């Protein structure tokens, strides 16, 4: 998660180095690392602490640092790992860095085990969240967008499009709610009868105010827009659904819904929104600096700042070929949105999804293994033993699906870690999700 700061007057390097050290001391999470204990990550002090440098420093989960501060002339680039950082943390970090550079004495932060507090809150709402999602959850599928079919829920290299949004003021609705309603109406106009987008929701409480950290949860929002529904009526219904989702926003969906198949992205399309972006005098801050990656097929990141609502569209260019059309269509829908106008008048509606979208997703490519018998591959037995050890289940057959066996994202992480340490083999999490059997994992390794 990058932040780029350009100074009108380059700061004294020594003073900036001291300010960086002070900020890291104020936020010890930035000076942490993750120790692998049998496949379970544990937060520990980092061997390498973040410090001001003039060269790029790789973020290292096991040794640190988990944040870097690189000064190049009048430009400071800050990059923090999402494990210890969220969007609101950017505002906190920039404000504290400015205060430290000015020599302002900040009030000490109250020390607390915020991870433990989050776990307590999750446990307290777990039963309620389970009941809530039992009647709503359905696996997000493909989405038609601007003539393309978006299916990806992987993380990978992305492209960027930036634009501003003029959001109408509608009674009883926040700007975020208006944008989400407009997005769902637009997706319906492309021919998607049932719409789902993932939304990033802050889980910060008063206790976390002023702290950096990963206080965010991604949850799905569903709708079935009727072309004849007035936009105001549709948006009010979506607002009511969002408010119900807010009540269980502390609980990760994978905790609330048993057997969910984890992916890097909850759905092909996701939205994040935050207010902020106020820069100190003489600082030009790029709050939405692009990291070159995308989760899923399309991420719409929104910053509601002093200059208005800025949109940063991160997308998979292999899936979305015309981001300009999508941006123009969303701008047009917002420009036409009035409470009484039917959804069909906001955009050119397709009443049915294209034949391409109705077709099943392509199966993973079959690899020609030269006729090798995977049953005789020694990795089959070695990996099976690791599965049985982690899942505490035996016997496991080569074609058994890990999710049908009760596996989940943490158990998969443990399996991957043990495969790396014991067998010296590496497999990406997304490849594991797409090939969730012992035989499938071995095929991926042997490619």
Q: pLDDT at position 153, please?
A: 93
What are phi and psi for residue 3, nearest 5 degrees?
A: -135, 135
Mean pLDDT by 10 residues, the chain (447 residues): 96 96 95 84 92 93 94 96 95 96 86 87 96 94 95 94 97 97 97 96 93 96 96 98 96 89 91 95 97 96 96 97 96 97 91 48 42 66 93 92 84 88 87 89 89
Residues 6+ apart with CB under 8 A from 273: 176, 179, 199, 200, 302, 303, 304
282: left (phi over 0), alpha (psi -120 to 50) or beta: left
What are phi and psi for residue 284, nearest 5 degrees?
A: -100, 105
CA distance 36 to 60: 13
Q: Where are the domains of the chain?
A: 2-102, 116-358, 374-446
CA distance 407 to 392: 10
Best CA proximity match to 95, nearest among 1, 23, 24, 14 = 23
Q: pLDDT at position 197, please?
A: 98
**Which CATH number is associated with domain 2-102?**
3.30.559.10
Q: pLDDT at position 360, please?
A: 44
What pLDDT digit, counting tens, does each position of 112-133 carry? 888 889 999 999 999 999 999 9
The reported pTM is: 0.87
**Which CATH number is associated with domain 374-446?**
1.10.1200.10
Q: pLDDT at position 53, please?
A: 96
What pLDDT digit, counting tens, does each position of 415-432 carry? 988 999 899 988 888 888
Q: pLDDT at position 353, please?
A: 52
CB-CB contact of 280 with 98 (8 Å): yes
Whether 374-446 and 2-102 are alike in CATH topology: the answer is no
Q: pLDDT at position 283, please?
A: 97
Q: Are strands 75-80 and 293-295 parallel, antiparallel or unpaired?
A: unpaired
Q: pLDDT at position 48, please?
A: 94
**Which CATH number is associated with domain 116-358?**
3.30.559.30
């Amino acid at each position: 998660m990058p932040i780029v700061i350009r100074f009108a007057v380059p700061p004294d390097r020594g003073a900036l180095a001291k300010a960086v050290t002070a900020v890291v001391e104020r936020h010890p999470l930035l000076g942490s690392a993750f120790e692998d204990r049998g496949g379970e990550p544990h937060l520990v002090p980092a061997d390498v602490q973040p410090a001001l440098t003039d060269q790029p420093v790789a973020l290292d989960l096991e040794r640190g640092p988990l944040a870097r501060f690189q000064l190049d002339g009048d430009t400071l680039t800050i990059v923090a790992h999402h494990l210890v950082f969220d969007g609101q943390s950017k505002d906190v970090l920039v404000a504290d860095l400015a205060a430290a550079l000015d020599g302002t004495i900040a009030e000490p932060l109250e020390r607390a085990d915020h991870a433990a507090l989050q776990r307590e809150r999750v446990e307290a709402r777990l039963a309620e969240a389970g009941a809530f999602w039992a009647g709503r959850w359905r696996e997000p599928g493909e989405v038609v967008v601007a003539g393309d079919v978006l299916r990806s829920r992987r993380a990978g290299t992305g492209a960027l499009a930036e634009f501003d949004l003029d959001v109408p003021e509608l009674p009883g609705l926040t700007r975020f709610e208006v944008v989400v309603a407009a997005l769902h109406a637009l997706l319906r106009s492309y021919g998607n009868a049932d719409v789902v987008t993932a939304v990033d929701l802050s889980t910060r409480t008063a206790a976390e105010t002023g702290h950096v950290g990963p206080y965010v949860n991604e949850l799905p929002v569903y709708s079935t827009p009727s072309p004849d529904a007035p936009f105001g009526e549709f948006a009010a219904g979506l607002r009511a659904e969002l408010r119900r989702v807010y009540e269980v926003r502390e609980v990760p969906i994978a905790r609330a819904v048993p057997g969910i198949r984890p992916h890097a992205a909850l759905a092909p399309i996701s939205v994040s929104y935050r207010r902020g972006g106020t820069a100190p005098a003489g600082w030009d801050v790029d709050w939405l600096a692009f990291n070159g990656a995308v989760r899923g097929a399309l991420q719409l990141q929104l910053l509601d700042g002093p200059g208005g609502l800025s949109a940063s569209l991160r997308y998979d260019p292999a899936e979305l070929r015309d981001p300009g059309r999508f941006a123009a269509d969303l701008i047009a829908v917002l420009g036409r949105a009035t409470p009484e106008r039917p959804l069909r008048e906001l955009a050119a509606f397709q009443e049915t999804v294209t034949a391409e979208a109705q077709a099943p997703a392509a199966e993973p490519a079959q690899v020609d293994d030269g006729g090798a018998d995977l049953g005789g591959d020694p990795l089959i037995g070695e990996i099976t033993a690791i599965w049985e050890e982690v899942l505490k289940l035996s016997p496991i057959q080569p074609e058994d699906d890990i999710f049908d066996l009760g596996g989940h994202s943490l158990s998969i992480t443990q399996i991957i870690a043990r495969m790396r340490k014991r067998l010296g083999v590496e497999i990406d999490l997304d490849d594991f999700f797409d090939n969730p059997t012992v035989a499938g994992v071995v095929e991926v390794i042997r490619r």
